[in-house]
DNA sequence: GCGCATCCATACGGGTGAGTATGGATGCGC
DNA sequence: GCGCATCCATACTCACCCGTATGGATGCGC
């Protein structure tokens, strides 16, 4: 989650939370801001003039860096997809004992915040043609990861696949119900109990 | 799923799948058409002029029946919420053996189609302020229903609640992944196997 | 310090869709 | 069959937002 900070070029920047930041922008800056805006207000709120105001410039800037609004969305989605690749999954694969991997994965994923805000926003934008293929690829990969993890944990292949689907569905559903929908706003200890219940229920002993 | 058919007033109608239907419309007609459109193309596609064309009239008609576009959405959502109330849940409660209820519920829900199309569309519209409270209420009620069902099936209260949350999350996530997202488009027998796997995994023996 | 490429501001065109105003058509009460 | 309420058509206004055109500012090469 280092969405912000870091510039590509020659000019440095102190911190992106100030208005009178009179530096020139790069395409990356726009993508970062776009991702932030998506996390906050959803894909539908991604308007170029709004983004421009937020960045302290005008549309003229935007259309120098991007050909169209869709192009920005595309680039932002690619960035998100690529970033999320070996973010958690890579670390998990380094755990020696396969039976330790799944519970550890559950616990780690459960305590992330920012990536989930983007993910939840993208789930709400599944009518947009550009996000569908991205989400399809990501879901596919993650489900396959769970599939092999469950096999390594001792489940027979077919059962492992269904368990993987079930697990990932529960994950996605939880995001929808507790993030975007602000249900009874489950508190910390209760949440931890829920996670442990998931582990006990879904992961074979 | 009797969304269509039925009129309130004095004039009857043959079948709502014909163009030259030169009868006057009621507010209910608009709501029914709106729900159908939401199921097909999502809440975002709910535009009054589009709906008017589909119904063979113009905006002039619409703004006689409704004060605003939001009013139509509101009415349609209320109609959906009220309809979906005792649709499945009522039947399930009549099953004598509590241990039979959950597997039966799973199997029945798994083979519904049309209500799920609306539900999935609404899940994608969770950024809209009007749908959030509706979905919150519905989710709350259904989760509570699962909660008591799990208790009656023998689970201790706390565990029953978490299991209910897990179950409902899996349900919602499945809708997202397999309806709106068109993942590998799981076929019939494979789907049935998945449902049975869910039953075996989530419902206590 | 001149000149060119980079980056941005200003101003405009154009499409879309919500909401309004107003008059016309239709059917029912009586 | 007159009159009134119901329902709808037509013709607007207005706001929003994407995209374009074009000129101005800034900084780097040399």
Identify the CA nearest to A45 among candidates A33, A56, A60, A63.
A33
**Where does the pLDDT of residue A6 fall: very low under 50, low under 70, confident under 90, or very high at 90 and above?**
very low
Mean pLDDT, residues A42-65 taken together = 95
Distances in whole angstroms, Cα of residue A26 to Cα of each of A153, B84, B92, B184: 46, 50, 58, 38
Chain-chain contact of B123 with A125 (C-beta, under 8 angstroms):
no
B64 vs A72: CA distance, rounded Å: 41
From the alpha carbon of B55, which nucleotide's C1' atom is closest?
A: D8
**Where does the pLDDT of residue A178 fall: very low under 50, low under 70, confident under 90, or very high at 90 and above?**
confident
Mean pLDDT, residues A73-82 taken together = 95
pLDDT of residue B182: 66
A61 touches strand C (CB under 7 A): yes
pLDDT of residue B18: 40
**Where does the pLDDT of residue A120 fall: very low under 50, low under 70, confident under 90, or very high at 90 and above?**
very high
pLDDT of residue A85: 72
pLDDT at A138 over 90: yes
Q: Residues B4-61: pLDDT tens digits? A: 222 333 333 333 344 445 578 899 999 999 999 999 999 999 999 999 999 999 999 9
pLDDT at A137 over 70: yes
pLDDT of residue B93: 77
Closest residue in B to A197 (Cα–Cα): B162
B60 touches strand D (CB under 7 A): yes
Nucleotides of strand C lying closer than 7 angstroms to a protein CB: 6-11, 17-23, 28
pLDDT at A165 over 70: yes
Chain-chain contact of B165 with A126 (C-beta, under 8 angstroms):
no
Identify the CA nearest to B131 among candidates B61, B178, B70.
B70
B15 vs B96: CA distance, rounded Å: 39
Mean pLDDT, residues A48-71 taken together = 96
- Residue A38 is encoded by which pair of tokens? 């998506």
From the alpha carbon of B46, which nucleotide's C1' atom is closest?
A: C17
Q: What is the average pLDDT score of chain B?
A: 86
Interface test with A, best of B45, B166, B192, B202 (most A CBs within 10 A): B166
B6 touches strand D (CB under 7 A): no
Mean pLDDT, residues A123-152 taken together = 94
How far, in Å, is the CA of B44 from the C1' of nucleotide D7? 27
A169 vs B48: CA distance, rounded Å: 35
pLDDT of residue A18: 40
A47 touches strand D (CB under 7 A): yes
pLDDT of residue A136: 93
**Where does the pLDDT of residue A183 fall: very low under 50, low under 70, confident under 90, or very high at 90 and above?**
low
pLDDT at A182 over 80: no
Mean pLDDT, residues A98-123 taken together = 90
Distances in whole angstroms, Cα of residue B153 to Cα of each of A192, B67, B150: 24, 48, 5
Size of chain A in residues: 205
pLDDT of residue A25: 87
Dihedral, CA of residue A141, residue A147, residue A150 and residue A154, to nearest 10: -140
Closest residue in A to B202 (Cα–Cα): A201
pLDDT of residue B24: 84
Give the contacts of B31 (CB within 8 A, at least 6 positions apart).
B72, B75, B76, B79
Q: What is the average pLDDT score of chain A?
A: 86
Q: For A139, list phi and psi in degrees, rounded to 5.
A: -60, -45
Between A184 and B144, the more confident residue is B144
Mean pLDDT, residues A167-195 taken together = 87
B65 touches strand D (CB under 7 A): yes
Chain-chain contact of B183 with A123 (C-beta, under 8 angstroms):
no
| A191 Cα distance to chain centroid | 20
Between A205 and B79, the more confident residue is B79
Of the CATH numbers 3.40.80.10, 1.10.10.60, 3.30.70.20, 1.20.1070.10, which one belongs to the domain with range A1-84?
Answer: 1.10.10.60
């Amino acid at each position: 989650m280092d969405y912000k900070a870091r510039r590509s070029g020659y000019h440095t920047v102190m911190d992106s939370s100030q208005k009178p930041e009179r530096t020139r922008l790069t395409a990356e800056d726009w993508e970062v801001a776009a991702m932030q805006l998506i996390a906050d207000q959803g894909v539908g709120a991604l308007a170029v003039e709004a983004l421009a105001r937020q960045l302290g410039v005008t549309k003229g800037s935007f259309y120098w860096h991007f050909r169209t609004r869709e192009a920005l969305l595309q680039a932002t989605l690619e960035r998100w997809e690529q970033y999320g690749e070996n973010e958690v999954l890579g670390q998990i694969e380094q755990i020696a004992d396969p039976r330790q991997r799944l519970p550890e994965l559950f616990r780690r994923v459960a305590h992330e915040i920012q990536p989930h805000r983007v993910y939840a926003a993208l789930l709400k934008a599944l009518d947009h043609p550009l996000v569908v293929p991205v989400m399809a690829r990501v879901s596919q990969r993650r489900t396959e990861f769970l599939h092999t993890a469950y096999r390594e944990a001792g489940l027979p292949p077919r059962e492992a696949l269904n368990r993987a689907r079930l697990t990932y569905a529960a994950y996605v559903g939880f995001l929808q119900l507790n993030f975007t929908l602000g249900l009874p706003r489950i508190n910390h200890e209760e949440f931890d109990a829920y996670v442990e219940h998931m582990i006990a229920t879904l992961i074979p002993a």
